[in-house]
Homo-oligomer: A and B are copies of this chain.
Amino acid sequence: MQLGIIGLGRMGGNIARRLMLNGHTTVVYDRDEASRSALAKEGSTAVADLPALVAAMDKPRAVWVMLPAGEPTEETINVLSELLDADDVIIDGGNTFYKDDVRRAQALTAKGLHYVDVGTSGGVWGLERGYCMMIGGEADVVQRLDPLFATLAPGMGSVERTKGRNSADDRAERGYIHAGPAGAGHFVKMIHNGIEYGMMQAFAEGFDILKQKNSENLPVEQRFDLNMADIAEVWRRGSVVSSWLLDLTADALATDPQLDAYSGAVADSGEGRWTIEAAMEQAVPVPVLSSALFARFRSRQKSSYADKMLSAMRFGFGGHKEGPK
């Protein structure tokens, strides 16, 4: 099957590669000429602009936009919507806010086009392992694209089957789902990332306690000499916290147990914040997901106005001095 791909960064490029390795054809565009050439050498039809991309494809077309969420994606979809023909499909594979999907789907439907949103997890590992995909859009359109999704997904692999699972639809077991109408794919992916933040923070806090148990700040008789790398390693076998995130933690600790390679200033993307927003719209208490997000905010601050205000109050009622160093 043929797929147009716009945006050949790490994700877009590997999506093209995984498709071509499995017999699909790709027509690709990136504003960076070198990226286009690289894919062309690997078998893609590389084009120099969006009109050329549209011209190079068979109808009905399917064009996967794999760009940063927000303006880059929005503008590209606007331009595409003017170039495409009725019944063509635009796929947004980026990290778009699901309400933008809902809005766009309505606008494109009015033009006779289709819109599919695909939340993907798998990052740099997707080429090799496949992409876990959560898809929103019209059922028949998602079905039309099924050969692409089936290829991009990890497949059943060696993962042990879920007990009692009995569903006519085996796509979930092969690593992709049709979650619902436009927006549902990114909604599920958004919550995935919210959970991811929470799990990461759980490990981070636990290892922080372990690490501080070795600290010279503790009285010597209370101190242990725990081996962070060994602890991560042992938990990978048979423990309740076994997980891919733990595997990655073990990887990092094996060669850098002090984690000196990292500054400790941690970025956050839109999905973590939108997860909290969704929880607030639905009145769902999410103390863990929000705490995980706030820990990232705090990690990027040297000192905060909030903290200074605590000191100011302490000075006010108790004369405690916590001045600048």
Beta-carbon nearest neighbor of A211 in chain B? B305
State whether B289 touches A206 (Cβ < 8 A). yes
Cβ of A172 to closest chain B Cβ, rounded Å: 4
Contacts of A211 in B (CB 8 A): 305
State whether A254 touches B162 (Cβ < 8 A). yes
Q: How far is the CA of A224 from the CA of B179 in the complex (A)?
A: 9
20 other contacts beyond A207-B305, A285-B304, with CB at 8 A cut-off?
A122-B240, A123-B317, A154-B238, A155-B237, A158-B158, A187-B213, A191-B209, A198-B288, A202-B292, A204-B310, A205-B279, A205-B287, A206-B275, A208-B286, A208-B304, A213-B282, A245-B313, A252-B309, A266-B322, A288-B292
Q: Given A188-B210, A294-B287, do A237 and B303 touch, yes or no (CB 8 Å)?
A: no
State whether A303 touches B195 (Cβ < 8 A). no
Number of copies: 4
State whether A323 touches B132 (Cβ < 8 A). no
Q: How far is the CA of A221 from the CA of B281 in the complex (A)?
A: 14
Segment among A26-34, A81-89, A226-234 that sits at the interface with chain B? A226-234
Q: CB-defined interface of A233-244 with B at 8 Å, one 1/0 digit per residue?
A: 111111111111
Q: How far is the CA of A253 from the CA of B159 in the complex (A)?
A: 17
Segment among A41-49, A54-62, A72-80, A163-171 that sits at the interface with chain B? A163-171
Q: Given A284-B212, A310-B266, A310-B296, do A237 and B153 touch, yes or no (CB 8 Å)?
A: yes
Q: Is A320 an interface residue (CB 8 A)?
A: yes
State whether A315 touches B177 (Cβ < 8 A). no
Q: How far is the CA of A165 from the CA of B130 in the complex (A)?
A: 25
What interface size band does chain A fall in?
Answer: 35 or more
State whether B288 touches A299 (Cβ < 8 A). no
State whether A204 touches B124 (Cβ < 8 A). no
State whether B194 touches A121 (Cβ < 8 A). no
State whether B299 touches A310 (Cβ < 8 A). yes
State whether B285 touches A295 (Cβ < 8 A). yes
Contacts of A265 in B (CB 8 A): 303, 307, 311, 322, 325
Contact of A322 (CB < 8 Å), options: B267, B289, B316, B324: B267
